[in-house]
Homo-oligomer: A and B are copies of this chain.
Amino acid sequence: MAKKGSGGSLLIRGGTVVAPSGPLEADLLIRGELVQAIGQDLPAGNAEVLDANGCIVLPGVIDAHTHIALDTGIYQTSDDWFTATRAAAFGGVTTVIDFATQSKGQSLRQAVEERLAEAKEATIDYGLHVMVTDLPPGREAELEDLVEMGAPSIKLYTTYRPNYYADDATILRLFRACSALAIRPLVHCENDDLIAAETEALVATGQTGWRNHGRSRPPLAEQEAVQRILLLAEMAGCPVHIVHCTTAQSVDFIVSAQAEGQIVSCETCPQYLLLDEECYERADPWQYVLQPPLRDGWDAVALGMSLQIGDIDLVATDHCDYTRDQKMAYDDFTKTPGGLPGLETLLPLMYTYGVAEERVSLLRLAQVLCTNPAAVWGLWPLKGALLPGFDADVVIYDPRTQSRIEAQRLHHVAGYTPYEGMPVQGEVKATILRGQVVYIDGEFVGSRGAGRFVPRRLPTVGAPGTAR
């Protein structure tokens, strides 16, 4: 197998291409940065040839929810845009949508520009959601800058008082402003009061050890916030995306809203599908400090079924690469930074526990990891499918190998993975970013800074042919 795309043409031959219609036995011809053709027995011409025999050829994975090089003011994650996106490339991810966090006093434009400067080292493509933390009444017009800059999605939190927290009035006001602008807000839904109270109660009784983490953020906190956000979005006439749903009830509220005609999309994460609150009983509960926390195993099962039948649109990682040391500093969940590394393991886990275990089809896998993130977040019809004219972001997955996840073989910085030891079926053979092979056969061959910011443009409300 060749090591690298020519920059000219590349022919991926003999694989099973996951097209929007499902798997096809076909070749994929790439010219420059774009897919030129998908077809059978395509002539190689002077194209370099990559043999994908026995492999699955998927659109590059789009992880629509990551926190690379996150600086919360208190903690900094260990990765940077280079290391994180290199790990992503190892895992078949060719685009991330990360976050520009607006500092108090900053304009939204500044927030985006600042973050764009940081992201220059990226080895894969990236988009930005914008965490709005300071947009008082009268400054809503700045949201238009986001549309113009190609970052038409704002992240709002109903929790993390006082930093990220937005109160209901702010949320409603921003929803109303977004509704006029084809911006889709994405909301972290957890009721801050309920969490504060549970946490306080645990603190008061000295139950702050990691294994109590889950109890500090009860399911009801999420469910109440989901229901409330749906009502506010409905009243504002604004589409909304609910991030990292962890309970069946949350998804039920969303499905009911959709049945009433509301435009809502949602996601879950591998950790909520594959892990559950029993992890807090393990020897290493610090690993599972994240927000929202792991839930009951039945919720995990229900989320899997929702994923299969299409009630959940996409799977993202909420990647947050705190180190083992950062997380283990204090056996106190109130002091432990929340979040898990996940970029590199996203595709292998979803392939293994989704496709190989016959919970979802290959097509559905491509939908939740590639097509739907692109469709929901305005990368469509640029990315998310292997069709002529689309960016030639490709991942070649060899489903024949068997291994186990081991942190030491992964490439993020944190030094641990919550999935340690879990068997996986298959592995990424090659990752191609806009026609360039960036990873192949165990070797990273991309380059620092080769990733580009991808301006996104959201479909107008109710536009046909788009995801919800």
- Which residues of A does B touch, CB under 8 Å? 19-22, 24-26, 29, 31, 34-43, 137, 167-170, 172-173, 191, 193-198, 200-201, 204, 220, 223-224, 227-228, 231-232, 235, 255-256, 258-259, 261, 308-309, 360-364, 367, 380-381, 384-385, 387-390, 462-465
Contacts and interface: CB of A to CB of B under 8 A. Distances in A.
Contacts of A40: 31, 34, 36-37, 388-389
21 contacts: A20-B21, A21-B380, A21-B387, A24-B387, A24-B388, A37-B42, A38-B38, A39-B42, A137-B201, A168-B191, A168-B224, A169-B197, A172-B194, A172-B197, A220-B235, A224-B232, A227-B227, A259-B259, A360-B464, A361-B463, A362-B465
B37 A361 contact: no
Contacts of A204: 137
B220 A193 contact: no
Contacts of A360: 464
A140 to B, nearest CB: 12
Contacts of A34: 40
A228 B224 contact: yes
Nearest to A252: B259
A1 to B, nearest CB: 22
Given A224-B228, A363-B465, A364-B465, A22 B381 contact: yes
A231 B227 contact: yes
Contacts of A224: 168, 228, 231-232
A355 to B, nearest CB: 9
Contact of A193 (B36, B42, B167, B195): B167
Nearest to A37: B39
A25 B34 CA distance: 13
A200 B196 CA distance: 26
A43 B41 contact: no
A417 to B, nearest CB: 27
Closest 3 CB pairs of A and B: A37-B39, A169-B197, A20-B20
Contacts of A362: 465
Nearest to A355: B464
Given A167-B197, A224-B231, A361-B465, 18 more contacts: A20-B21, A22-B465, A26-B387, A37-B37, A37-B42, A38-B39, A38-B387, A38-B388, A39-B39, A168-B193, A169-B193, A227-B227, A255-B259, A256-B259, A259-B259, A363-B465, A364-B465, A367-B465
B389 A26 contact: yes
Contacts of A363: 464-465
A242 to B, nearest CB: 16
- With a 10 A CB-CB cut-off, give which of A172, A195, A381 has the most chain B CB atoms: A172
A20 B387 CA distance: 9
Nearest to A359: B464
Contacts of A235: 220
A248 to B, nearest CB: 12
Contact of A228 (B24, B173, B201, B227): B227
Contacts of A22: 380-381, 465
Contact of A198 (B43, B169, B195, B197): B169
A53 to B, nearest CB: 16
B223 A389 contact: no
Contact of A26 (B20, B388, B465): B388
Contacts of A201: 137
